Amino acid sequence: MLIGVVITGAVVIAGIGFAGSYAAVRELAVKKGFGDFAYFFPIGIDAGICVLLALDLLLTWIHMPFPLLRQAAWLLTVATVAFNAAVASDPLGMGMHAVIPVLFVVTVEAARHAVGRIADITADKHMEGVRLTRWLLSPVPTFLLWRRMKLWELRSYDAVIKLEQERLVYQARLRSRFGRAWRRKAPVESLMPLRLARYGVPLAETAPAGLAAAGIEPQLMPAPRQSVTPALEPTAQEPAEEMPSQWFAAQQQVTYQGDYDPTYVPEQDPQLSYDPQQQVPAHEQVPVPAPRAPESEPQVPVPTGAGGTRPLGKGTPEADPQTAQAPAAAPTDEDLYQVFRHSIEGEGMPTPGAFAANLQAQYGMRLQARDLNRYMDQFSDRLNAELMDEHIA
């Protein structure tokens, strides 16, 4: 209904404009010596404008825009306005002749914008724009955001904002771990996700490895809340929209169908009843025997080489072959430092990830992030000092 009203209004505007300009352009053509062709000259100009604009709409719809068509139609419209203004004798008359063509051009441009937007959305080529308020509040970061959208064909504005938020959160976590000089102190594996984000690679794919290399828990954004019990998850037969919310569901009263009677009180057996007054007298209590001291074994004297005697010893007890071996001692700091030195690959200090992996492979121990960072700082300083001493020597 509304589309029909708009199309009808555009046709009426075009008809009024063409009818009004026909007489003025024909009169001007007669004065310029066009002769009989003066009757067809205005029709040719108006028909050319209509054909060019219609062809531009058609090519836009089939994703083959040709900008020269619009420019030629604008040029013919300006020429028509100039021809009509030449007939008028005052500036007010010139402005009156220019109103109708301007209305027609604006209407056609609005239609072309709508057709182009629908065609882009249908072909999944529509690219959303950046909000004006963001341009005003933060122009430089917004320009970088817009540049990234255009370079890597990121069409959704919300998706780009999400990627930018993840990038800022990732930088904040590195800054909190390494301080202000995080770009210099952070390992290369931790900086690589930020470099890849410039080329449109989402941090959700690369951030866990980078955070693990920096010794940070690889949790970039809070995970969405999930149901506690799997029984509350929707099944294929029961769609999720029809399942009532577990947060707002009222507490249901369950009717017990068993044989238990809460009002039943069992009778006590008189033989098993306990009377606190009936206690065993003190003189009838059974005496507890005192612990018996261990008997001393007889000493057997044996002669010695000096002519004296000595008591015979028991000797060393034999070890039980089935007794489990004592657990291996925990590695010392020197052992950990040797693992740290063996973790060096190429030039530079070993990464926390390589050190932790080698330590777990050799000793089977897994360090927490805090202990791992402490050992990394301690061993790095020690290694630098040793290298400096070797260089001086």
DSSP line for 58-125: HHHHTT---HHHHHHHHHHHHHHHHHHHHH-SSHHHHHHHHHHHHHHHHHHHHHHHHHHHHHHHHTT-
pTM summary value: 0.37
Residue listed under structure tokens 């009002």:
263
Flag whether 140 is in a domain.
yes
Flag whether 6 is in a domain.
yes
306: confidence class by pLDDT, cuts 50, 70, 90: low
Is a pLDDT exceeding 60 seen at residue 180?
yes
- Residue ending a domain, among 61, 92, 122, is 122
Q: Would you call 179 helix, strand, or coil by DSSP?
A: coil
Amino acid of residue 310: R
pLDDT digits (tens, 9 = 90+) for 88-109: 667 777 777 778 888 888 888 8
Q: Are residues 6 and 118 in the same domain?
A: yes
327: confidence class by pLDDT, cuts 50, 70, 90: low
Q: Are residues 115 and 138 in the same domain?
A: no
Q: Are residues 105 and 143 in the same domain?
A: no
Q: Are residues 33 and 113 in the same domain?
A: yes
User: Would you tell me how many other CB atoms lie within 10 Å of the CB of residue 380?
Assistant: 13
Flag whether 370 is in a domain.
yes
Q: Please list the residues that pair with 302 across neighbouring strands.
A: 310
pLDDT digits (tens, 9 = 90+) for 276-294: 454 444 444 555 555 565 5
The dihedral over CA atoms of 185, 187, 190, 196, expressed in degrees to the nearest 10, equals: 100
- At 143 the pLDDT is 92
- At 321 the pLDDT is 47
Flag whether 57 is in a domain.
yes
Flag whether 224 is in a domain.
no
pLDDT digits (tens, 9 = 90+) for 225-239: 544 444 444 444 444
Rounded Cα distance between 145 and 164, Å, is 8
State how many domains the chain has: 3
Flag whether 205 is in a domain.
yes
Q: Are residues 19 and 104 in the same domain?
A: yes
- Stretch 43-50: mean pLDDT, rounded? 87
Q: Are residues 15 and 83 in the same domain?
A: yes
Flag whether 92 is in a domain.
yes
Q: Are residues 31 and 118 in the same domain?
A: yes
- Stretch 378-393: mean pLDDT, rounded? 76
- Residue ending a domain, among 213, 232, 264, is 213
- Residue ending a domain, among 188, 213, 238, is 213
Amino acid of residue 144: L
- At 296 the pLDDT is 57
Is a pLDDT exceeding 50 seen at residue 115?
yes
Rounded Cα distance between 302 and 315, Å, is 14
Looking at mean pLDDT, say which of 181-190, 341-350, 382-391 comes out highest: 181-190
Rounded Cα distance between 342 and 357, Å, is 12
- Stretch 79-96: mean pLDDT, rounded? 76
Flag whether 304 is in a domain.
no
Domain that holds residue 79: 2-122
320/156: higher pLDDT: 156
Contact 203, 166 (CB under 8 A): yes
Q: Are residues 35 and 140 in the same domain?
A: no
Alpha helices in the chain, H assignment, sequence order: 2-31, 41-61, 67-87, 91-122, 132-137, 139-151, 157-178, 182-185, 188-197, 203-213, 333-342, 352-363, 369-392
Q: Which positions ≥6 away from 142 have C-beta within 8 Å? A: 130, 134, 135
H or E stretch including 311? strand 309-311
- At 140 the pLDDT is 92
Q: Are residues 138 and 118 in the same domain?
A: no
Burial-class residue 112 by CB neighbours within 10 Å (0-12, 13-18, 19+): middle
Amino acid of residue 87: V
Q: Are residues 203 and 158 in the same domain?
A: yes
Q: Are residues 111 and 146 in the same domain?
A: no
| End-to-end alpha carbon distance in the chain | 92
Q: Are residues 82 and 157 in the same domain?
A: no
> Average pLDDT over the chain, rounded to whole?
73
Rounded Cα distance between 97 and 82, Å, is 9
